[in-house]
A and B are shown apart, each in its own frame.
Chain A
Amino acid sequence: KAGVTQTPRYLIKTRGQQVTLSCSPISGHRSVSWYQQTPGQGLQFLFEYFSETQRNKGNFPGRFSGRQFSNSRSEMNVSTLELGDSALYLCASSPGDWGAYNEQFFGPGTRLTVL
């Protein structure tokens, strides 16, 4: 099976702009989770989508949003970018079966730089 893919791999934006990142999960996986990775804060959970519904949400401001399509692909949007949003954004896919011990497979990430 093909692994998790993310596009674009690198992105440079300026403060105040918005950005959309995309994640394609492993075929058959219905859950997509998003994480922000920074040197200072480590890996932090943003949100998780399962069957087109947001099932769980981390402690990020409303500028961070996402959605999932019927083919399980997911997008993440950040509006009104701030310098502190510069990070590696990772998505992870899993079968998402509730009650199961689901291994999460990570994509290569999108490196966002906000100038």
Chain B
Amino acid sequence: GENVEQHPSTLSVQEGDSAVIKCTYSDSASNYFPWYKQELGKRPQLIIDIRSNVGEKKDQRIAVTLNKTAKHFSLHITETQPEDSAVYFCAAISNFGNEKLTFGTGTRLTIIP
């Protein structure tokens, strides 16, 4: 089955700096990679996703890159703000995988004012 590794487990950055979270996956059949943000006591919410036929996707201050050959993908947050503090999860799924998301172990991001 799929295995997703995520690093780092914790990350502290100064407000205004950039943050990068990296994930690797094992199953070459995975072709859809969503990122979820979970604030304390709240539900995970999708913030950005990327399909395997795309190398990069950007949405305002958030971007995701995918390297299919190396089987890794990364989340980039620029100009970080205090409200970016949360736990971020990467995930991998095959769109023929019947909705079974395999998650990374999460990264606790803290933005230091």
Contacts and interface: CB of A to CB of B under 8 A. Distances in A.
A92 B45 CA distance: 10
Given A43-B89, A106-B45, A107-B43, A56 B101 contact: no
Given A31-B99, A45-B100, A48-B99, A103 B34 contact: yes
A104 B46 CA distance: 8
Nearest to A32: B99
Secondary structure at the B interface, as helix, strand, loop or mixed, is loop
Interface residues of B, number: 23
Nearest to A48: B99
A47 to B, nearest CB: 9
A104 B101 contact: yes
Interface string A67-108: 000000000000000000000001010101011111111111
Contacts of B106: 42-43
B95 A90 contact: no
B51 A33 contact: no
Contacts of B101: 33, 35, 43, 45, 92, 104
A22 to B, nearest CB: 16
A28 interface: no
A101 B94 CA distance: 9
Contact of B99 (A43, A104, A107, A109): A104
A23 B99 CA distance: 16
B51 A101 contact: yes
B29 to A, nearest CB: 13
A107 B38 CA distance: 12
A86 to B, nearest CB: 16
Interface of A: 4, 31, 33, 35, 42-45, 48, 50, 55-56, 58, 90, 92, 94, 96, 98-109
